[in-house]
Structure 1
Amino acid sequence: MQHLDFYILRALWILGIPVGAYAFIHALRQRADAFTAVGKLTKNAWLGITGAGLLVLVVFQGPWSNGALFWLAGLVAVLVYIVDVKPAVVGVQRGDQRW
């Protein structure tokens, strides 16, 4: 139980890279007009955000590195895409009336 924080941070680091890759690939495969239809940033902006987030997650060696703040910002960037942008973009392409 003493090193629980280490294992949680290690799990976040290991899971962060595939999550970042998923966010980038998902943004890459979506239609460009779907992003603006739901009032989000453009597709190119989200490709840049998720791509930079993925790069930061790969380059910095987790939350205990010297660039922990950058690593955290990269993780937050890809999670914002997955939690906020992805459902809206998928919903508008499916024809949901909410968006």
Structure 2
Amino acid sequence: MLGTVQVYVFLILAIALFVVEVWALVDAARRPTPAFTTAGKRTKNFWLLLLAVGAVVGFLNVPVPGGAGTGTFLMFIAVVPAGIYLADVRPAVSGYSGRRPPRGGGW
């Protein structure tokens, strides 16, 4: 019974890490390209590639329900770029909406 609980805890943890990776990837894709270089961060393509690789590795390491996990260590390594993006890059680029301010001061 303890083994079954451990498998489900591991499954929930793997899915939670994968969700964080996908969240970071989608957020980076929605940000305007100039925001990254204006904020002094690496390019948008760099972050998209890094986050996409992390999401793929995270997806491949989600265990099959009822089965054993494959790569615990890789699962935790794959979430590192997402954590760096969400903690450092996202706050820096969040101020850049990519929209132009309205022309004139009209109502």
Q: TM-score, normalised by structure 1?
A: 0.75
For the residues of structure 2 that align with 1:10 and 1:84, how far apart are their CA atoms? 28
Q: Percent identity?
A: 31
> Residue in 2 aligned with 1:57?
58
Higher relative contact order (CA 8 A, sep 6+): 2
**In the comparison of the two structures, how many residue pairs are matched?**
90
**Paired AA for residue 79 in structure 1:** G
Q: Which ranges of structure 1 fall in alignment gaps of 5 or more residues?
A: 95-99
1:86 aligned to 75, 83, 90, which one?
90
> What RMSD over aligned residues (CA atoms) do the two structures have, in Å?
2.3
> Residue in 2 aligned with 1:97?
none
For the residues of structure 1 that align with 2:9 and 2:88, how far apart are their CA atoms? 24
Q: Secondary structure at the match of 1:39?
A: coil
For the residues of structure 2 that align with 1:11 and 1:66, how far apart are their CA atoms? 14
Q: Does 1:71 align with 2:99?
A: no
For the residues of structure 2 that align with 1:32 and 1:75, how far apart are their CA atoms? 23
Q: Which runs of 4+ in 1 moved over 6 A?
A: none
> Residue in 2 aligned with 1:36?
37
Larger radius of gyration: 2
